[in-house]
A and B are shown apart, each in its own frame.
Chain A
Amino acid sequence: NAGVMQNPRHLVRRRGQEARLRCSPMKGHSHVYWYRQLPEEGLKFMVYLQKENIIDESGMPKERFSAEFPKEGPSILRIQQVVRGDSAAYFCASSDQGGFGANVLTFGAGSRLTVL
């Protein structure tokens, strides 16, 4: 089991370009969370998705950011027209069910976006 796989690990974009970050959850996991970590800050929740559904996007900026988790393939976090303030580490986490119980979130290694 390869765990949560994120790619690319590092991405450099110029202002105005698009950034696409991918997350493949652990095998058997159908719940995906995206978090953003800005320098000197903790992780901030962005969006929670299940297969083909966005359940909670309360942490997503209203413009330029979107996320999807299609029936087949990885979850994608898309940032259009990037600005310098988007430079951050973006972490994906997955779980095998939405409820709590003994379930925890398994995190990927993150994608570090640098906007020049």
Chain B
Amino acid sequence: AQSVTQLDSQVPVFEEAPVELRCNYSSSVSVYLFWYVQYPNQGLQLLLKYLSGSTLVESINGFEAEFNKSQTSFHLRKPSVHISDTAEYFCAVHRNSGGYQKVTFGIGTKLQVIP
């Protein structure tokens, strides 16, 4: 079994300030870690993922996340947020199960960027 914990349901932050959205996971097997973003009334979009290799992964819009195996964490960070980053962010673990993907999502963190 696997689980994902997003510790903060809402995070307000001023524009141009840094932000960290926390994610911890637990799993008895190897998993892969993802962050998805959901803008209002839209579906989820992949933000970034960790499969293997370098533990620091980056997205094209300035977000980064670091896989920390010892702390079972995959926190999402951005050094300077923009109004357009206002959205809900979901951490997820993917694992292979019988040839297909089983995905477990966290409950989401709503990022509100304040002008």
Contacts and interface: CB of A to CB of B under 8 A. Distances in A.
Contacts of B51: 102
B96 A91 contact: no
A43 B96 CA distance: 18
Contacts of A110: 42-43
Contacts of A91: 43-44
Contacts, number: 61
B109 to A, nearest CB: 10
A55 interface: yes
Interface stretch (A11-19, A65-73, A79-87, A93-101): A93-101
A87 B40 CA distance: 17
Interface in B76-102: 90, 94, 96-102
A109 B41 contact: yes
**In terms of DSSP, what is the predominant structure of the interface of chain B?**
strand
Given A43-B90, A100-B94, A105 B101 contact: yes
A102 B51 CA distance: 8
Contact of A109 (B42, B49, B104, B106): B42
B107 A41 contact: yes
Interface in B48-67: 49, 51
Given A40-B107, A41-B107, A48 B41 contact: no
B101 to A, nearest CB: 6
A102 B32 CA distance: 11
A107 B45 contact: yes
B39 to A, nearest CB: 10
Interface of A: 4, 6, 31, 33, 35, 40-45, 48, 55-56, 91, 93, 95, 98-100, 102-105, 107-110
Given A6-B43, A93-B44, A110-B43, 14 more contacts: A40-B9, A40-B107, A41-B107, A42-B106, A42-B108, A43-B90, A45-B102, A45-B104, A56-B102, A99-B99, A100-B32, A100-B96, A104-B49, A107-B45
Interface of B: 4, 6, 9, 32, 34, 36, 41-46, 49, 51, 90, 94, 96-108
